[in-house]
Each structure stands twice: as structure tokens, then as C-alpha cells.
Amino acid sequence: MENSEIVLATDRYTPSFENQLQMHRATRRWGFIVIMIVLLAYLIPLIVYLAITRAINVSYTGESFFADFRLTLLIVATPLYLALLILRMFAPRRLAKQRMRALNELYGNAIPDFVTTFFEDALLAQSGENDPGVRLNYAVFTHIKETRDLFVLKTKEKHLLIVDKQGLSGVDVPGFRKLIHEKCPNAKVKWNPQTT
């Protein structure tokens, strides 16, 4: 047996709504979305306000301009902030439901376990026992994020590989952290502080 074929660890992942929800919460750039909406919440009212004042040909002194602008800001920004709150709360749930629906359409009610085998030089990801799978070099992973129950490995092309902590065999969770960190030295890593 070649050194590259020595199995370092194996993971068996069964997709569930909860796991899909954790995955979507872990992989979305919610901070970026929040910053963009906050910026828009200030820029859009300014543009609306300037358009209205120009349309009705109003000239203001500096103090009255800011007083009226604050009112416009309040009127326009409040719905944007509410939209942000709703997006942050419900978008991951909606995405997780869509993903589970897609898996049910693809596999019916018999969604297979996804098995990942970690070798010395690469990993093999399979969907089911009879699937030949896809062999991936560790260098393709650019981001690793840990959630409460999962490790989410992300490639440059935004493909995801899910590793279920409860499905690990051959290594425990701290050992897997060490293994994947050694195998993917260039990946940006974000461990879950509650579990480290």
C-alpha cells in the first residue's frame, strides 16, 4: 500500500435541515451584507432627499438642510434596517430549506450519506457507497470554518465540503482540526471558539 493511500480519517455526513442551516450561516458573508445595507441606508435617503429638493427647487441654509435630511433619513432608512434584520434572520433558513428540497428532488426520500475519506495527499468525497467519488487535493481549499457540529471546507470556486463532527472516525475533533490545518496551510481558518 502506498503512503498516499493510508487513510488518516473518514467522515460520514447525513444532510439534515439543521446541518444545512449551520452551513449557510457559516458560509455567507453576512458582515459584508450588513455593511453594504447600512451604507445604502444612508446613501439612498440622501439621493432621494437631494432629488426631491431639486425637483421642488428649494434652497436651504445649512441648518435647515440637515434638519429636513434627518427626517428623510428616518423615513427611508427605517424600512431598510428592518429589511436587513429580516434578511439576517430568515435568509439562512430559506437557503437551508431550498437545499434540502433540492436534495429530496435529486435523491427522493433516500438521501445518501456523503462519505469523505482523508488520505495523506488528497481526499475522496463520495455521495453514497457506490459513487466513485471525486478526489481533491488539499490545496484547493481556501477557507475552513467550524460550526457547532460541522467543519465547512470551501474552495476558490465556492464549492463546499461538509465534515460532520459526529461522523468522524479515525480521529477526534481536535485531531481533525490539526490534520486539516496541516493539510491546508494556505486556507483561511476560523475555528469555533466554543469548541476549541
Q: Are residues 119 and 73 in the same domain?
A: no
Q: Are residues 31 and 101 in the same domain?
A: yes
Question: Would the pLDDT of 45 be above 80?
Answer: no
Q: pTM score, two decimals?
A: 0.67
Task: With CA atoms as reference, report the closest residue to 146 among 178, 191, 183.
Answer: 191
pLDDT at 63: 55
pLDDT tier at 140 (50, 70, 90 boundaries)?
Answer: very high
pLDDT at 174: 92
Cα–Cα dist 6/26, whole Å: 31
In a domain, 165, yes or no: yes
Domain count within the chain: 2
160-189: average pLDDT: 91
Whole-number percent of the chain with pLDDT over 70: 78
27-51: average pLDDT: 70
Q: Are residues 162 and 147 in the same domain?
A: yes
In a domain, 21, yes or no: no
- CATH (domain of 119): 2.30.29.30
Q: Are residues 78 and 150 in the same domain?
A: no
In a domain, 98, yes or no: yes
pLDDT at 122: 92
Of 107, 127, 149, the last residue of a domain is 107
Mean pLDDT of the chain: 80
In a domain, 22, yes or no: no
In a domain, 133, yes or no: yes
70-97: average pLDDT: 74
Question: Would the pLDDT of 178 be above 70?
Answer: yes
Question: Would the pLDDT of 4 be above 60?
Answer: no
Question: Would the pLDDT of 1 be above 50?
Answer: no
Top-confidence range, 93-97, 165-169, 192-196: 165-169
Cell numbers given for 26:
457559516
Structural domain of residue 142, as residue ranges?
Answer: 3-15+112-190
Q: Are residues 36 and 86 in the same domain?
A: yes
Of 63, 86, 107, the last residue of a domain is 107
Cell numbers given for 36:
453594504
Of 107, 126, 148, the last residue of a domain is 107
pLDDT tier at 158 (50, 70, 90 boundaries)?
Answer: confident
pLDDT at 57: 64
| pLDDT tens sequence across 89-124 | 787 888 889 888 988 898 888 888 899 999 999 999
Q: Are residues 98 and 166 in the same domain?
A: no
pLDDT at 151: 92
